[in-house]
Structures are given as C-alpha cells and as structure tokens.
C-alpha cells in the first residue's frame, strides 16, 4: 500500500530497535521501512554480518532514509543498550531462565507508560538463523513472545520488527497513564547495571564464591537475570555498590583460640 504524504511532519522517537548480528542487508532495510511506517527512528546494529553501510539495505528501505541515516553500529550488545533503562528481548523459543514473558501488545503498553514514553526502552532482535543467545536474553527485564501457529512458527527478522512497531504505534490510546517510577526516582540505565554486575562478580571471585570455573558462567547468568528482573533504580544500584564495598572491607571473624 502506498499512501506517503511528504507534506506531513514525520513522527520520530520511540523505543530503540536493536538488531544483533543481522545476516541480510535486505532485512535491515525492510526493518527500517517498518519502523518509519510506525514512527520509530532509533535503529541500532550490533556487528551486522551483512556489513555497513549496505546497498541492499538502502534499496529495501524504500525511502526510509532518515532511519538509515541515524543508524548506530556497535561491537557489543552491552554498548548498544548502555543508555537504556528498560530492555525487551524478542525470542521465538522458551529459555531456561525465570523471565517475565509478554506479548508485543503488552510490551508496547509497558513502554508507553515509562517516564521516557518509550525513548528509554529498547527491543533486542537476534540473527535470522539462531536468534539471541541466553546471555543476551538475560540482559533484558522481559521477553517478548509472539503467539504463532505451532505447526509453522516462521517469522523472519523484519516481520518480527513490524509486529512490535505496529503494536507500539496502535497502543498509544489505551496505554496506562500511570508512570512506572515515582517522582524523584528513575530506573537505572543498562550501563549502570552492567557496572554493578562487574563490581559484584569481581567481589564474588575474590571471595571464592564460584565453586569451579565451569560453574561460573551459569551462576553469573542466574545472578544477572535476578537483578535484571528487579528493575533497580539508580539509588538502589548505588546502595548495592555500597553493600559490596562494605562486605569486601569487612574483616573475617577471628577464630576462637583455646586458652588452656
């Protein structure tokens, strides 16, 4: 359908769309086209396998040049989402972790209700063939799962972006009016949360918390997932830093000595 009116002011902003290791330039371009149809303009790419800039992406975008002109490229997911406060991971399969699962509609309602009206949120999409890793999913507070025909659940990357963008655009009128944080507080950014993870894991290494190096990655994943679900505020993160510092400085209790 063609109904573009260049005399109208274009919508912009909204949540960030983060494509991780996208394999095809065409999918990046179609995703950008879908985004602009629904007023989203913040597209971030993490190590696109198709390379960037990409002629096939430009052609497939069909005029969504303002989205492609703003694309930012990152080497790591953590860098791509560092400034965000709320993160969703789009996945087509169950993960072996405790994580709230929402529909695209529910995610859109949540994003509309944040203090940043969605600009402080992002949605992660994995590569076409394999999807996101468990470590990448663990960075998000919530998982978006789109109900599909179980006998043929085969959305491609651009189609998944279209569904999320559509829900964001259409949910504006029925989004809850309450804000997710009280006045005077704000959710911690992902960068603040990642710094806390590093501080905590370093302290746990020093305390000999991890029984073996083999067990460490799984235990770290569980800890990160736990704190991601908590949706910590900036002040809470600072408090936890202080707790770690104090515990790290605490002298171990002296063993009782026999006096005879």
The string of pLDDT tens digits covering residues 64-76 is 999 999 999 999 9
**CB neighbours of residue 230 within 10 Å:** 14
Is residue 256 a part of any domain in this protein?
Answer: no
**Residue 53, preceding peptide bond in cis (omega within 30° of 0):** yes
Is the domain of 137 the same as that of 201?
Answer: no
- Separation between Cα atoms, residue 14 and residue 55, nearest integer Å: 26
Domain count, the chain: 2
> Do 30 and 119 have their domain in common?
yes
* pLDDT at residue 117, rounded to an integer: 77
Q: Does residue 170 sit in the same domain as residue 198? A: no
Predicted pLDDT at 6: 47
Q: What per-residue confidence (pLDDT) applies to 252?
A: 61
Same domain, 127 and 211: no
CB 111 within 8 A of CB 86: yes
Q: Does 222 reside within a domain? A: yes
Q: Is 7 inside any structural domain? A: no
CATH number reported for the structural domain that contains residue 22 in this entry = 3.40.1280.10
Domain residues for the domain of 216 are: 190-249
Domain boundary among 149, 174, 199: 174
149 and 231 belong to one structural domain: no
Instruction: Please check whether residue 36 lies inside any domain of the structure.
Output: yes
Q: Is residue 255 assigned to a domain?
A: no
Q: Note whether 111 and 216 are same-domain residues.
A: no
Burial class (CB in 10 A: 0-12, 13-18, 19+), 201: middle
Partners of 87 in beta bridges: 122
Mark whether 213 and 147 lie in a shared domain: no
Nearest to 49 by CA among 163, 155, 129: 129
| CA distance linking residue 122 with residue 150, whole number of Å | 27
Question: Residue 194 has which token pair?
Answer: 């990642």
Q: Do both 20 and 132 map to the same domain?
A: yes
**Do 167 and 194 have their domain in common?**
no
Same-domain check for residues 152 and 217: no
Taking a C-beta distance cutoff of 8 angstroms, is the pair 101, 94 a contact? no
Nearest to 142 by CA among 171, 105, 176, 173: 105
Instruction: Please tell me the distance from the alpha carbon of residue 49 to that of residue 155, in angstroms, as a whole number.
Output: 19
CATH number at residue 237: 1.10.8
Query: Is residue 254 in some structural domain?
Result: no
Q: For every one of its 260 residues, what pLDDT tens digit does the chain have, with 9 covering 90 and above?
A: 444 444 334 445 689 999 999 999 999 999 999 999 999 999 999 999 988 999 999 999 998 999 999 999 999 999 999 999 999 999 876 666 778 899 999 999 999 888 777 889 999 999 988 889 999 999 999 999 888 888 887 788 999 999 999 999 998 756 554 555 555 678 899 999 999 999 999 999 999 999 999 999 999 999 998 998 888 999 999 999 999 999 988 756 554 445 44
Measured at the CA of 218, the angle between CA 189 and CA 212, to 5 degrees, comes to 125
Q: Would 184 be classed as within a structural domain?
A: no
Which residue matches tokens 């002109």?
Answer: 69
Nearest to 43 by CA among 23, 21, 13: 13
Same domain, 104 and 151: yes
Say yes or no: 57 and 136 in one domain: yes
> Looking at residue 131, what is its pLDDT?
87
Q: Confirm whether 244 is domain-assigned.
A: yes
Tally the residues of the chain. 260
Domain end (from 174, 201, 234): 174
> Which of 174, 200, 226 marks a domain boundary?
174
- Return the pLDDT at 176: 53
Taking the mean position of all CA atoms in its chain, how far away is CA 32? 18
């Amino acid at each position: 359908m063609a109904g573009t009116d260049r005399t109208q002011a274009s919508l912009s902003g909204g949540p960030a769309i983060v494509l991780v290791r996208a394999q095809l330039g065409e999918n990046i371009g179609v995703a950008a086209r879908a985004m602009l149809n629904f007023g989203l303009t913040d597209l971030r790419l993490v190590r696109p396998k198709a390379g960037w800039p990409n002629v096939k992406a430009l052609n497939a975008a069909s005029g969504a040049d303002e989205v492609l002109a703003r694309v930012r490229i990152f080497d790591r997911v953590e860098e791509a989402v560092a400034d965000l406060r709320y993160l969703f991971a789009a996945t087509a399969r169950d993960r072996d972790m405790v994580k709230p699962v929402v529909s695209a509609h529910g995610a859109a309602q949540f994003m509309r209700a944040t203090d940043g009206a969605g600009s402080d949120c992002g949605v992660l999409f994995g590569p076409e063939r394999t999807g996101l890793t468990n470590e990448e999913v663990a960075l998000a507070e919530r998982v978006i799962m789109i109900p599909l025909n179980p006998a043929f659940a085969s959305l491609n990357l651009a189609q998944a972006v279209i569904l999320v963008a559509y829900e964001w655009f259409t949910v504006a009128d029925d989004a809850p009016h309450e804000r997710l944080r009280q006045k005077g507080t704000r959710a911690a950014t992902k960068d603040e949360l990642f710094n806390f993870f590093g501080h905590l894991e370093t302290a746990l290494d020093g305390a000999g918390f991890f029984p073996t190096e083999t067990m460490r990655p799984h235990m770290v994943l569980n800890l990160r997932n736990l704190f991601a679900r908590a949706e910590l505020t900036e002040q809470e993160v600072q408090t936890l830093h202080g707790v770690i510092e104090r515990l790290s400085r605490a002298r171990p209790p002296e063993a009782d000595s026999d006096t005879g």
